[in-house]
Structure 1
Amino acid sequence: MRIEGLLTTLPFIIGAGVLSVMDIVPSWVPGIPVLILAILLIGVLPAKRYRSRGYQMSDDRLRVVKGVMFHSDTVVPFSRVQHLDVEQGPLERGFGIARLILHTAGTHNASVTLPGLAHADATAMREEIRQHVKRESL
């Protein structure tokens, strides 16, 4: 999350640097807002987002809670699961984390994503949920 914040802030840092080098405005004018933005996007928000996420897996359902400003509490019964995915982007692969995605029957919240899991944990959860789904379908 901090790397995402850095990548989001990077164009603003470059823009502030260009304005400073070209002497269009004094260097502190774009520097202060960009510094505040960087502190928020790299330091404060990722910590809040991390603390606001969680999950709980029981015998027949997965509960996923997330959101800083807009709180979401989603319960997915295993009987509604159609298929499961474990995905990794390049940054996630570099850090050994993955996303578990549950695709469900229905149109509202048809897929629920659980990001930031260790790859081994995501795979183990996928297999455990798959076993639950398999037992219920028999």
Structure 2
Amino acid sequence: MNSKELVLLAANACDDKKAENIVVLDMQQVSLIADYFLICHGNSERQVQSISREIKNQAEEKGIEVKRMEGFDQGRWVLVDLDDIVCHVFHREEREYYNLERLWGDAPEVPVQNEWMAGMKEQQ
């Protein structure tokens, strides 16, 4: 599975758990950290944990190793490291505070909540 397919898998996992404002940043020309950052939020600690768990479960179902998952117990900002994809699942308040989209503003946003995700759902 390439990194574009993996970020779509993660975005769909977020969508399945009703994550809000799913944003994917293309980091390939901006940083060596990852190919893509996925950023989304939930409205409670429990929802943040549910979204993070779903990303992990769907990745593992496809044989993708989750390198690490940090912040799960607190449910305020969970980082799910899928190697080439780093998923940031925030509680709404933390997302507004840290504003990663502004911090990485030079990374182009990949449109995932329209045709791109619709195409992925059709493949499943």
> What TM-score bracket applies, with the shorter chain setting the length?
under 0.3
**Richer in helix (by share):** 1
Structure number, greater radius of gyration: 1
| Higher RCO (C-alpha under 8 Å, 6+ residues apart) | 2
